[in-house]
């Protein structure tokens, strides 16, 4: 391969080569880190929810005035919703998963209040909630209708039985079986674990304890009532409209303040993440575009300047393929130099980012992927001008420019 | 001479239209992206209380768990809200010239008389009356409640401009009655357009949320035992079966601001709350080391992380992108200028001075910078339009203003000239003889 003459030609125009190399280096540093952040966010937004998120929606009713009867309203609303065709299940629930709003509480495996330190998402729910959320029970059972207590007001009472996620059970009891064990609150009250849910996401999307959830068999006190409704596939949107219409015309001592799908709740909670993905996606796309166009422009320019030189090479016996190869190899050499510096830059930048976000450092996969992509883009970008160069007739060498 | 250089520059750009477009496009993209992310960053970090930055203070007290700080990531910070009992005790101090305790609550508004409107939920801010002058809240009609109404929790409300439009059609509704949760409230004021951004006075639930729709005396919430609709955070193991227990608890849920006009006032007030905390220690509360803070609005925004790390990273990445665009431009310009070196050689041989050549090329570079600036403005405008669309559904962060056009133009010219300097310098230093020989 004719690497030596290419190298010596490059060394004669050091600045030009340096500029392209630096451009490639910076592109790699930016793209690798941006894509790494994008992937983290996409993974975060796509975490399995453990529920039938696509088919569930939530309703919030807000009672007011002296005529409002919370207990009767909840009973009547749930009876009405459950009787609608297309409803798989409907339940009372105190908070909405992935809504960035809800309650948390602290529990312990021992009665000693100082050892009650394990935080969890805290959901009050009735016996149909598991089904209405579409969550999967791994062990034991969910609540029975008889266990569900109707709360009249805010209270520090602890229910006699709880159902929790496996992650919460692990946080409390380690690898020991949790079923049948007692879980304690900070006030000296305790409850029996009767069921374990395989996996579920709780209230706050940025909370590292999102997968620790405790359910208690209670219907939340008024005047706000929340219901979760699970629809048969394809029925969700129609049911949302129907439920809203029926509930808001059924009673004038309350307002229906929300009818919103689980997906919409999650989308709102993740909006900072989805914005970041959009921003970074645009920057990555543009940086590749600019770099590729720059390579095309520079190579085209060189073809123009070197017309006579190329003609001479053709005249003394170089084939078209040799001319094309010259440009491809030249670009490859620049890319190699560029990505070598770029890999270092990317790691340095990644180090800073991981400090900002307190995340593990940049994975080499993204640098490797970036190198591969830059090589392909560079070769493609230089190919068109190289073809033009190959088309220069040898006869041009005989003319003065 | 300038017009001659201008003509030469335009001619040179026209000779290689593709490269010219590429350079202008690259600068435009780089500047456009930078201005877009910068605008969001500037908006997020702008302080709407700048003019009162040295007299307003958010009051915080560390009544938290002796075993762990409120914010494990920033253990030096006390909770960003205060308890009811501490708020009430410290509110008694007459050191601040103005002071406000406040919180949020939701109500159902029943617009019985407005045709076609069903009852709907609203969020109210329950505050003591200094809230309005402290945060420069503008009134369209009427005014705030008086001191007696403040103390007695009189059923009076001030409406936002929006809710007044929705319920009363935008007319002067002072004196009218509004039904909230089935009770009657008298309208005593209507606000003008008001949306401080970020919402510095309460950063606990969304720094870019819209302000509340209805304002009323703080005492109403206590007398009616209204639960907070903001953040409530508790740590101590204590029963909370009644509202009375909740008020006496170590749960934090109230925002507290004080106006302290000078250094001496600040020190006196700091001593006052520190002494209060020491007294409380004797009662078995405030078990952590004394850590009560008076934070100015800018410090408050920082402590509450109004500007997200995301925004910092985006600005950093945008400038790296601009650097790539400029490197791109330098490379193209260098190739272009050196390609024209034979002509330069000829001009030099015919008597043009080095300074003339320099000026000629700088004009060309300036043209590219100007073109890039215009392209940058267009791209930034498109970018901001896209962002507005991304934010408008949820946040108040939609008022992206236009003065950014000037920044775009300036940034483009500056970066264009910077990028053009080296190629211009190179072409000025070419030996005329070398090019003349090959002719």
How confident is the model over B309-328, as pLDDT tens digits? Answer: 888 889 999 999 999 999 99
Cβ–Cβ of B121/A37 closer than 8 Å?
no
Q: Provide the pLDDT for residue B395.
A: 57
Q: Which residues pair with B186 in a beta bridge?
A: B156, B177
Q: What is the mean pLDDT of residues B389-404?
A: 61
Q: What is the mean pLDDT of residues B209-230?
A: 95
Cβ–Cβ of B321/A301 closer than 8 Å?
no
Q: What are the tens digits of pLDDT across the range A258-296?
A: 999 999 999 999 988 998 999 999 999 999 999 998 888
Residue B328 with chain A: CB contacts under 8 Å: 23, 290-291, 293-294, 297
Cβ–Cβ of B239/A356 closer than 8 Å?
no
Any CB–CB contact under 8 A between A111 and chain B? no
Any CB–CB contact under 8 A between A155 and chain B? yes
Residues B315/A7, Cβ–Cβ less than 8 Å: no
Which pLDDT band holds residue A315 (cuts at 50, 70, 90)? confident
Among B47-56, B68-77, B379-388, B396-405, which is the least confidently predicted range? B396-405
What is the rounded CA–CA span in Å between residue B107 and residue A249?
A: 19
Q: What is the DSSP letter of A94?
A: S
Q: Considering the entire predicted model, what is its pTM?
A: 0.89
Q: What are the tens digits of pLDDT across the range A214-271?
A: 999 999 998 999 999 999 999 999 999 999 999 988 767 899 999 999 999 999 999 8
Q: Provide the pLDDT for residue A237.
A: 97
A19, A283, A293 member nearest B321 (Cβ): A283
Residue A245 with chain B: CB contacts under 8 Å: none
- Locate B225 and state its tokens: 């035992």
Q: What is the mean pLDDT of residues A347-362?
A: 83
Please count the other Cβ atoms lying within 10 Å of the Cβ belonging to residue A365. 12
Q: Give the β-pairing of A213-219 and A161-165.
A: antiparallel
Q: Is the pLDDT of residue A330 over 60?
A: yes
Chain B interface test: which of A27, A294, A302 (most B C-beta within 10 Å) = A294
Cβ–Cβ of A272/B310 closer than 8 Å?
yes
Any CB–CB contact under 8 A between A154 and chain B? yes
Helix axis angle for A364-390 and A271-305, nearest 10°, is: 30
Q: What is the mean pLDDT of residues B394-417?
A: 69
Q: What are the tens digits of pLDDT across the range A135-171?
A: 999 999 999 999 999 999 888 999 999 999 999 999 9
Instruction: Please report the number of interchain residue pairs, chain A to chain B, with beta-carbon separation below 8 angstroms.
Output: 152
More confident residue, B161 or A384: B161
Residue A37 with chain B: CB contacts under 8 Å: 313
Helix axis angle for A262-269 and A271-305, nearest 10°, is: 60
Q: Is the pLDDT of residue B16 over 50?
A: yes
Any CB–CB contact under 8 A between A59 and chain B? no
Q: What are the tens digits of pLDDT across the range B201-218?
A: 999 988 888 899 999 999
What are phi and psi for residue A66, nearest 5 degrees? -70, -25
- The burial of B113, by beta-carbon neighbours within 10 Å (0-12 exposed, 13-18 middle, 19 or more buried), is given as exposed
Q: In percent, how much of chain A has pLDDT > 90?
A: 71
Q: What are the tens digits of pLDDT across the range A36-62?
A: 999 999 999 999 999 999 999 999 999
Winning range, highest mean pLDDT, from B128-142, B205-219, B423-437? B128-142
Q: What is the mean pLDDT of residues B229-235?
A: 93
Q: What is the mean pLDDT of residues A122-146?
A: 97
Cβ–Cβ of A293/B25 closer than 8 Å?
yes
Rounded to whole angstroms, what are the CA distances from B115 to A257, B110, B119, B166? 19, 11, 11, 11
In DSSP notation, B205-238 reads S-TTPPPPSEEEEHHHHHHTTPPPSS--B--S--
Q: Give the β-pairing of A224-231 and A56-63.
A: antiparallel
Alpha helices in B283-308 (DSSP H): 297-303
Among A95-99, A188-192, B10-14, B376-380, which is the least confidently predicted range? B10-14
What is the rounded CA–CA span in Å between residue B165 and residue B160?
A: 9
B238, B335, B394 member nearest A271 (Cβ): B394
Measured between CA atoms, how close is B22 to chain A, in angstroms? 7
Residue B390 with chain A: CB contacts under 8 Å: 271, 275, 278
Q: What are the tens digits of pLDDT across the range A163-176?
A: 999 999 999 999 99
- Locate A219 and state its tokens: 């219907």
**Would you give the distance in Å from CA A64 to the centre of its chain?**
39
Which residues fall within 8 angstroms of residue A267, CB to CB, at 6 or more apart? A274
Q: What is the DSSP letter of A362?
A: P
Q: Provide the pLDDT for residue A258.
A: 93
Residue A290 with chain B: CB contacts under 8 Å: 26, 29-30, 321, 324-325, 328
What are phi and psi for residue A226, nearest 5 degrees? -125, 140
Q: Provide the pLDDT for residue B200.
A: 95
Q: Tally the residues of chain B.
A: 439
Rounded to whole angstroms, what are the CA distances from B357 to A247, B11, B340, B360, B428? 80, 15, 12, 5, 6
Any CB–CB contact under 8 A between A254 and chain B? yes
Q: Provide the pLDDT for residue A401.
A: 47
More confident residue, B405 or B382: B382
Among B80-94, B134-148, B385-399, which is the least confidently predicted range? B385-399
A 267-326 → B contacts, CB under 8 A:
268, 271-272, 275-276, 278-280, 282-283, 286-287, 290-291, 293-294, 297-298, 300-302, 304-305
Cβ–Cβ of A16/B335 closer than 8 Å?
yes
Q: Is the pLDDT of residue A342 over 60?
A: yes
Q: Provide the pLDDT for residue B44.
A: 85
What is the rounded CA–CA span in Å between residue B132 and residue A16?
A: 62
Cβ–Cβ of A63/B108 closer than 8 Å?
yes
Q: What is the mean pLDDT of residues B107-131?
A: 88
**Would you give the distance in Å from CA B158 to the centre of its chain?**
25
Q: Is the pLDDT of residue B396 over 70?
A: no
Q: Provide the pLDDT for residue B439.
A: 46
Average pLDDT score over chain B: 89
Residues A258/A58, Cβ–Cβ less than 8 Å: yes
Nearest chain A residue to B181 by CA distance is A64
Q: In percent, how much of chain B has pLDDT > 90?
A: 56
Q: Provide the pLDDT for residue B279.
A: 95
Q: What are the tens digits of pLDDT across the range B241-286?
A: 999 999 999 999 999 999 999 999 999 999 999 999 999 999 999 9
Helix axis angle for A271-305 and B17-45, nearest 10°, is: 160
Q: Is the pLDDT of residue A327 over 60?
A: yes
Q: Is the pLDDT of residue B376 over 70?
A: yes
Helix axis angle for A320-357 and A14-45, nearest 10°, is: 50
Residue with tokens 């993209």: B29
Residues B267/B107, Cβ–Cβ less than 8 Å: no
Among A280-284, A295-299, A302-306, B198-202, which is the least confidently predicted range? A302-306
What is the rounded CA–CA span in Å between residue A150 and residue A50?
A: 27
Measured between CA atoms, how close is A320 to chain B, in angstroms? 24
Nearest chain A residue to B240 by CA distance is A156
In DSSP notation, A47-75 reads S--SS-GGGEEEEEEEE-STT--HHHHHH
Among A94-108, A173-187, A305-319, which is the least confidently predicted range? A305-319
Residue B332 with chain A: CB contacts under 8 Å: 294, 297-298, 301
- Locate A268 and state its tokens: 């709102």
What is the rounded CA–CA span in Å between residue A56 and residue A240?
A: 10
Which residues fall within 8 angstroms of residue A183, CB to CB, at 6 or more apart? A107, A108, A109, A162, A164, A172, A190, A191, A192, A193, A214
Residue A187 with chain B: CB contacts under 8 Å: 237-239
Q: Is the pLDDT of residue A9 over 80?
A: no
Rounded to whole angstroms, what are the CA distances from A40 to A24, A47, A271, A276, A346? 24, 11, 14, 11, 17
Q: What is the largest CA-CA distance in chain B?
A: 99
Q: What is the mean pLDDT of residues B387-407?
A: 64
What is the rounded CA–CA span in Å between residue B260 and residue A18?
A: 58
Residue B246 with chain A: CB contacts under 8 Å: 154
What is the rounded CA–CA span in Å between residue B239 and residue B248?
A: 11
Cβ–Cβ of B309/A356 closer than 8 Å?
yes
Q: What is the DSSP letter of A146?
A: G
What is the rounded CA–CA span in Å between residue A180 and residue A161?
A: 10
Q: Is the pLDDT of residue A400 over 50?
A: yes
């Amino acid at each position: 391969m004719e690497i030596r003459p290419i190298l010596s030609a490059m060394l004669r125009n050091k600045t030009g080569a340096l500029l392209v190399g630096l451009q490639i280096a910076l592109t790699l540093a930016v793209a690798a880190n941006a894509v790494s952040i994008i992937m983290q966010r996409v993974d975060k937004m796509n975490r399995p929810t453990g529920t039938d998120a696509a088919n569930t929606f939530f309703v919030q009713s807000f009672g007011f005035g002296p005529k409002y009867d919370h207990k009767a309203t909840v009973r009547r609303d749930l009876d009405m919703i459950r009787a609608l065709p297309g409803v798989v299940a409907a339940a009372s629930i105190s908070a909405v998963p992935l809504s960035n709003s809800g309650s948390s509480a602290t529990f312990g495996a021992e009665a000693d209040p100082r050892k009650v330190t394990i935080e969890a998402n805290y959901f009050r729910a009735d016996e149909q909630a598991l089904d209405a959320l579409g969550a999967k029970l791994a062990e034991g059972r969910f609540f029975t209708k008889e266990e569900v207590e109707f709360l009249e007001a805010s209270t520090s009472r602890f229910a006699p039985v709880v159902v929790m996620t496996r992650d919460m059970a692990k946080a409390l009891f380690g690898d020991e079986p949790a079923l049948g064990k007692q879980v304690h609150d900070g006030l000296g009250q305790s409850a029996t674990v009767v069921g374990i849910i395989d996996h579920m996401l709780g209230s706050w999307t940025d909370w590292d304890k999102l997968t620790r959830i405790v359910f208690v068999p209670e219907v939340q006190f008024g005047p706000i009532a929340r219901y979760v409704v699970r629809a048969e596939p394809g029925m969700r949107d129609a049911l949302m409209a129907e439920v809203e219409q029926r509930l808001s015309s059924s009673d004038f001592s309350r307002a229906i303040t929300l009818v919103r799908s689980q997906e919409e709740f999650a989308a709102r909670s993740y909006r900072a993440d989805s914005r970041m993905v959009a921003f970074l996606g645009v920057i990555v796309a543009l940086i590749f575009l600019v770099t590729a166009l720059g390579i095309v422009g520079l190579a085209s320019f060189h073809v123009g300047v070197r017309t006579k030189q190329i003609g001479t090479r053709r005249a003394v016996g170089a084939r078209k393929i040799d001319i094309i190869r010259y440009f491809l190899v030249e670009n490859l050499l620049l890319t190699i130099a560029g990505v070598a510096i770029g890999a270092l830059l990317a790691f340095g930048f990644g180090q800073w980012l991981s400090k900002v976000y307190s995340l593990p450092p940049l994975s080499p996969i993204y640098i490797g992927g970036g190198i591969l992509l830059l090589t392909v883009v560079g070769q493609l970008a230089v190919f068109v001008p190289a073809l033009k160069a190959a088309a220069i007739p040898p006869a041009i060498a005989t003319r003065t420019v | 001479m300038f017009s001659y250089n201008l003509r030469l520059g335009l001619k040179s750009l026209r000779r290689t239209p593709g490269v010219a477009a590429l350079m202008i496009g690259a600068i435009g993209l780089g500047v456009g992206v930078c201005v877009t992310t910068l605008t969001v960053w500037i908006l997020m970090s702008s302080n709407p209380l700048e003019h009162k930055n040295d007299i307003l203070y958010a009051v915080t007290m560390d009544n938290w768990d002796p075993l762990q700080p409120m914010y494990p990531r920033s253990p030096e910070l006390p909770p960003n809200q205060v308890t009811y009992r501490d708020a009430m005790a410290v509110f008694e101090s007459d050191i601040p010239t103005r002071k406000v305790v406040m919180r949020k609550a939701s109500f159902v508004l029943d617009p019985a008389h407005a045709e076609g409107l069903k009852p709907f939920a609203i969020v109210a801010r329950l505050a003591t009356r200094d809230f309005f002058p402290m945060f420069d809240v503008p009134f369209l009609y009427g005014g705030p409640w008086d001191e007696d109404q403040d103390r007695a929790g009189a059923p009076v409300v001030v409406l936002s401009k929006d809710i007044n439009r929705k319920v009363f059609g935008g007319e002067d509704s002072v004196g009218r009655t509004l039904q909230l949760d089935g009770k009657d409230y008298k309208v005593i004021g209507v606000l003008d357009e008001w949306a401080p951004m970020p919402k510095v006075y309460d950063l606990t639930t969304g720094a870019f949320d819209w302000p509340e729709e209805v304002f009323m005396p703080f005492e109403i919430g206590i007398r009616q035992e209204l639960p907070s609709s903001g953040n409530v955070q508790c740590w101590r193991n204590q029963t909370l079966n009644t509202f009375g227990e909740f008020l006496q608890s170590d749960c934090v849920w109230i925002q507290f601001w004080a106006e302290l006009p000078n250094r001496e006032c600040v020190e006196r007030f700091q001593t006052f709350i520190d002494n209060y905390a020491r007294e409380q220690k004797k009662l078995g509360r405030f078990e952590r080391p004394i850590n009560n803070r008076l934070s100015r609005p800018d410090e408050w925004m920082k402590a509450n992380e109004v500007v997200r790390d995301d925004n910092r990273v985006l600005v950093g990445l945008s400038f790296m992108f601009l650097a790539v665009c400029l490197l791109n431009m330098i490379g193209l310009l260098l190739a272009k200028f050196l390609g024209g070196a034979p002509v330069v050689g000829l001009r030099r041989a015919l008597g043009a001075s080095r300074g003339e050549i320099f000026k000629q090329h700088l004009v060309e570079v300036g043209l590219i910078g100007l073109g890039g600036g215009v392209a940058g403005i267009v791209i930034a405008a498109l970018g901001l339009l896209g962002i507005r669309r991304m934010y408008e559904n949820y946040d108040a962060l939609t008022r992206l203003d236009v003065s950014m056009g000037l920044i775009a133009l300036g940034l483009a010219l500056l970066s264009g000239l910077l990028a053009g300097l080296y190629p211009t310098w190179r072409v000025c230093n070419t030996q005329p003889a070398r090019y003349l020989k090959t002719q």
